[in-house]
Amino acid sequence: MTEDLAAVARLSGVSKRLGGRAVLDGLDLGIRAGEVTALLGPNGAGKTTSVALLTGRLAPDAGTAALFGLDPRRPAARRRLGVMLQSAGLPDVLTIRELVTLHSGYYPDPRPLDEVLMLAGIADLADRRCGALSGGQARRVQYALAICGRADLLVLDEPTAAMDRGSARTLWGTVRALADDGAAVLLTSHDLAEADALADRVLLMDAGRIVADDTPAALRARAGGSVIRCRATLEPRAAALLPAAREAMMEGADLRILTADAARTVAALLAADPALSALRIADATLEDAIATLLAPAQERIAA
């Protein structure tokens, strides 16, 4: 990969082994200011290890990790970093107000407390003890801790896990505003609707390497116009030869067909397999594009 001189965080030629297994091998990636970058991929792809390297919780075996041009473990770099980890806990006995105030003291120019509580949607909970919070409320407190220091790089690991959709959309709005103000945002999420709504750029990982680096719209375009799913006796190889079909593969018990013209493909599909059932047709989504990019060659038959 050509070096990204605009990147505020970068992995260059990074290799890492954990438990005797090669997790990353020569990985290159960069995170830029003013963008929301979604790091996506299946479990075991290397996302968690990449984030740990970028935030200084792990060191590479080979290659370099840089945060604002410094070793990510240096305090000068970490003071410009805000992190919201999925596994982080909260102290039961402190109130939200006490915890955010304490955490803000680690930064040279923290946001005003009231602003932090408002952005995280927890102003009405400020005097509640952390041990009495629901899962979604606890996630919003963790978000408050990530943004309280005016971070130049915000790392959000499954930020809306346990939140209802309304709370999640509110958080999306504040993340988008922070990026528009110039912050770099690195998002990991299994919610592909969240990634599609927020990300300016998607880095798709598989087996410790980047297999796609593009906008969500460009990745969706790779999937074609529509996706047909059904229960059929027709084999994927035969389905891929139907009019306008771009590729066909099995998803569990379902036959999945990517098509440039759903009407033509469905008409031919019904003629070829009158007994098919559970027919569904939808526009291609980011999830469809990622499924296509990650599908092993033996499971995908291109037209």
Closest CA to 207 of 22, 60, 48, 52: 22
Query: What does the pLDDT look like over 157-208, one tens digit per residue?
Result: 999 988 988 889 999 999 999 999 999 999 999 889 899 989 999 999 999 9
Q: What is the DSSP letter of 57?
A: S
153: helix, coil or strand?
Answer: strand
User: What number of residues does the chain have?
Assistant: 303
* Amino acid residing at 125: L
pLDDT for 302: 44
User: Can you read off the two tokens belonging to residue 133?
Assistant: 């919070």
Point out which residues pair with 67 in neighbouring strands.
Answer: 9, 70
Whether the predicted pLDDT of 265 surpasses 50: yes
Other C-beta atoms lying within 10 Å of the C-beta of residue 252:
5
Q: What is the DSSP letter of 303?
A: -
* Amino acid residing at 19: G
Query: What does the pLDDT look like over 56-77, one tens digit per residue?
Result: 999 999 999 999 999 999 999 9
Q: What is the DSSP letter of 95?
A: B
Beta strand pairing call for 21-32 and 81-84: unpaired
Whether the predicted pLDDT of 225 surpasses 90: no
Whether the predicted pLDDT of 83 surpasses 60: yes
The CA angle 59-148-38, to the nearest 5 degrees, is: 55
pLDDT for 4: 61
pLDDT for 297: 43
* Residue scoring higher pLDDT (87 or 302): 87
Q: Determine whether 20 is exposed, middle or buried from the number of CB atoms within 10 Å of its CB (0-12, 13-18, 19+).
A: exposed
Whether the predicted pLDDT of 299 surpasses 80: no
User: Can you read off the two tokens belonging to residue 35?
Assistant: 């963008």
Backbone angles phi, psi at 114, to 5 degrees: -60, -35
**pLDDT band at residue 296 using 50, 70 and 90 as cut-offs:** low
Helix (H) / strand (E) element for 258: namely strand 254-259
pLDDT for 87: 74
Q: Give percent above pLDDT 70 in the chain.
A: 95
C-alpha R_g of the chain: 22
